[in-house]
Structure 1
Amino acid sequence: MRCARSRSRPTSRSALCMSRRRNLRRRDEMRTHSCILLFMLVTSAWVSAGAQTPASPEVAPAPVFEPPDTRPGRSTRLPRAWDGQPPLVPHSLRGLIPITATTNACVRCHGRVGATSGPPPAPPSHFIDLREAPGVARPQVAGARWNCTACHVPQTMAPPLVGTTFDGTARRPGR
């Protein structure tokens, strides 16, 4: 490549050659950066295309241990492991979940206030909305307590998955 003198302004021949070389170097750097960016975009698109979509919250994952397939009222309740533990569900949840914003099969049996026979009712604390109206009992289960399976899980006689030194015999003060 031959460097020629510009007619618009007088400059030395070596200055023009250096300017053109600098421009060529910048163009090469831009191509390199563009290629790297394109490679990164294609790679990220390829990786994200193969990513699994998360499960819908309304579809329960398969349990690690299969709870006994018993109907409500047909099995005995296991004792609680510690004071204040939410009771375990002594029956199968098949047909009772998913719990959605509009449907909750648990409250059909356990949503009665002050029941003395039949399935154990939800405690009075489940009918008090601590955010909106603390201390006021409502006729239906409070919204924060609506998703029963957030605290109550089906009981199963599964061995512990990890070792533990937890001792649930300690009592809370005042109990």
Structure 2
Amino acid sequence: MRSAISSLLALTLALGGCGSGHEEVPGKSPDDPVVITNAGQQIDAMRRGVPIDKEASPPPMARVENFDRPRPVNYEMQPPTIPHAIDNYQLTVNTNRCMLCHTRSNAVKFQAPPVSENHYVTREGKVLEQISSRRYFCVQCHVVQTDAPPLVDNNFKGIEISSTGEAAR
């Protein structure tokens, strides 16, 4: 047993210097500073150029676009975005502030678009009187639009939707 451990230790020490981390790089000293490339500077979204030993001030919060009108969709079955601020809207297991205006019974009174019919259907296809629990937390799919500038260029080309809501083929 002792000879097996000794052999394993000797082999480990012999091979320890053979790893790729110990290769010599001609003309490069281990003390040379690390050079940050342009790509590295472009990806610096977390620190935003602030040195690691300094505390970065948070970026300003993006302003919510509050136009109260539906935005166009870019693809079939895209959840509509929320065209108004939802700050302080209570959305818990017991309360959904969105449903005050967007239920079938209140949509006309509040001049709000009603929740889609598919939000009242279970996975098994049973139609419910109340919104389905799997569609209850609106912000799982629907998001508020802000005036935040895009972080990267977007060249996505959406589909054209006709006035009837059908996708042009």
Greater helix share, structure number = 1
Aligned residues of 1:77 and 1:88 also touching (Cα < 8 A): no
Q: 1:121, 1:63 → 2: CA distance?
A: 35
Q: Is it true that 1:137 corresponds to 2:137 in the alignment?
A: no
Aligned residues of 2:65 and 2:145 also touching (Cα < 8 A): no
Report deviation, 1:149: 0.2
1:156: which partner in 2?
A: 146
2:64: which partner in 1?
A: 68
Where does the alignment leave 5 or more consecutive residues of structure 2 unmatched? 4-57
3-state SS of 1:144 partner: helix
1:56: which partner in 2?
A: none
State the number of aligned residues: 116
1:92: which partner in 2?
A: 85
Looking at CA atoms only, which structure, 1 or 2, has the larger radius of gyration?
1
Q: 1:104, 1:63 → 2: CA distance?
A: 30
1:35: which partner in 2?
A: none
Give the alignment partner of residue 127 of structure 1, picking from 120, 132, 136.
Answer: 120
1:112: which partner in 2?
A: 104
Q: 2:148, 2:71 → 1: CA distance?
A: 15
**Letter aligned with residue 139 of structure 1:** E
Q: 2:148, 2:139 → 1: CA distance?
A: 18
**Letter aligned with residue 87 of structure 2:** R
% identical equivalent positions: 33
TM-score with structure 1 setting the length: 0.50
Distance 1:122 1:93, change over 3 A: same
**Letter aligned with residue 152 of structure 1:** H
Q: Cα RMSD over matched residues?
A: 3.6
Q: 1:114, 1:137 → 2: CA distance?
A: 19
Aligned residues of 1:67 and 1:154 also touching (Cα < 8 A): no
Where does the alignment leave 5 or more consecutive residues of structure 1 unmatched? 1-22, 26-61
